[in-house]
């Protein structure tokens, strides 16, 4: 395959100077149609330097590196709010994986948890111990990256509308050096690293798509390390869904870029979209994107850059989403 024929994926990337700003950007992305499986963070710096084989001064050197080790975004609701030990925002998946491995191997952290259990501490108390330990791992992870220039966030995009929205959201939440880049979709280096003949991973599949179960309890698929099998399946479901969306658009004679960027120009009203034959998941995705566009127009109207809007269309969209 020639270089011109190599399939590519597109990502938006930004650097954040605080955990709060990054979390706000993530919340905004998730509320406007992006999926958690499309978000990636930089792996712990020790892993980055080990895998790359060299050091670096600033995380900005890594923004566009196609083989830099990344990790999945994971919110605290995935592990639950541990009684007496809640910590806010996101955590990096390595914290969970590390603790899982240590508990299994009987290390110091595992011993602390086992001692807590032996001492009669209930599930909530053990949860608090876990939350404290995970929180410390997470705090170290954040501090290390901030010392190297900030927290990197990558957002996988599928079309021009995705790119526009991702860039706007990252920039609106104080992301620095926000831009979009191309990456090879084949991930040859990473595929060899995590799925080669010499690697001790276990090859598995879901809906006909292969992925690798890694020895440390994580999962590798198409250039990304994910924390749980649920995340792998969500990523595969998302990919298949987007392929279905492309197929539906082609069957209807729609330009997919226009459908996603300007739903009003295709469907005119949310009611007409609901009345169509599209799968509910696709209707919901289009409605979320439509809502985001309407909110942006309302903001522009409030700032005097667009004629005043009455907000009825946004209410119609929200009601349509409720029906779904």
| 40-98 pLDDT per residue, tens | 898 888 888 887 888 899 999 999 988 888 877 766 554 444 433 333 455 554 544 44
CB 39 within 8 A of CB 22: no
Distance CA(58)–CA(211), nearest Å, equals 31
DSSP string, 116-185: HHHTT--HHHHHHHHHHHHHHHHHHHHHHHHHTT-EEEEEEE-SHHHHHHHHHHHHHTT-EEEEEEEEET
Q: Which pLDDT band holds residue 221 (cuts at 50, 70, 90)?
A: confident
For residue 75, list its beta bridge partners.
90
User: DSSP 3-state assignment of 290?
Assistant: helix
| 259-307 pLDDT per residue, tens | 877 888 889 999 999 998 888 888 888 888 888 788 877 776 665 555 5
Query: 39-42 and 151-157 as β-strands: parallel, antiparallel, unpaired?
Result: antiparallel
């Amino acid at each position: 395959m020639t270089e011109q024929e190599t399939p590519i994926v597109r990502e938006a990337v930004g650097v954040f100077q605080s955990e709060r700003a990054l979390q706000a950007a993530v919340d905004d992305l998730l509320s406007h149609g992006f999926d958690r499986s499309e978000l990636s963070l930089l792996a712990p710096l020790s892993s980055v330097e080990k895998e790359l084989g060299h050091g670096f001064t600033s995380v900005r050197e890594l923004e566009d590196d196609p083989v830099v080790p990344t990790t999945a975004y994971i919110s605290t609701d995935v592990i639950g709010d541990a009684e007496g030990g809640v910590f806010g925002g996101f955590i990096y998946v390595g914290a969970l994986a590390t603790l899982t491995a240590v508990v299994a191997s009987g290390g110091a952290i595992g011993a602390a948890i086992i001692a807590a259990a032996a001492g009669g501490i209930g599930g909530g108390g053990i949860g608090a111990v876990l939350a404290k330990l995970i929180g410390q791992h997470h705090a170290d992870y954040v501090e290390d990256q901030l010392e190297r220039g900030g927290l990197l966030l990558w957002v996988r995009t599928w079309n021009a509308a995705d790119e526009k929205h991702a860039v706007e959201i990252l920039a609106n939440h104080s992301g620095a050096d926000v831009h979009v880049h191309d990456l090879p979709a084949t991930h040859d280096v990473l595929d060899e690293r995590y799925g080669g003949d010499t690697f001790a991973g276990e090859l598995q599949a879901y809906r006909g798509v292969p992925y690798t179960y890694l020895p440390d309890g994580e999962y590798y698929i198409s250039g990304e390390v994910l924390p749980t099998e649920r995340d792998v399946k969500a990523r595969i479901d998302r990919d298949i869904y987007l392929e279905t969306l492309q197929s539906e658009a082609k069957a209807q004679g729609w330009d997919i870029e226009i459908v996603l960027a300007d739903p009003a120009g295709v469907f005119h009203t949310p009611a007409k979209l609901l009345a169509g034959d599209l799968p509910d998941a696709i209707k919901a995705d289009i409605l979320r994107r439509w809502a985001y566009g309407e909110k942006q127009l309302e903001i522009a109207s409030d700032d005097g850059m667009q004629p005043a809007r009455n907000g009825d269309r946004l209410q119609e969209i929200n009601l349509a989403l409720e029906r779904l």
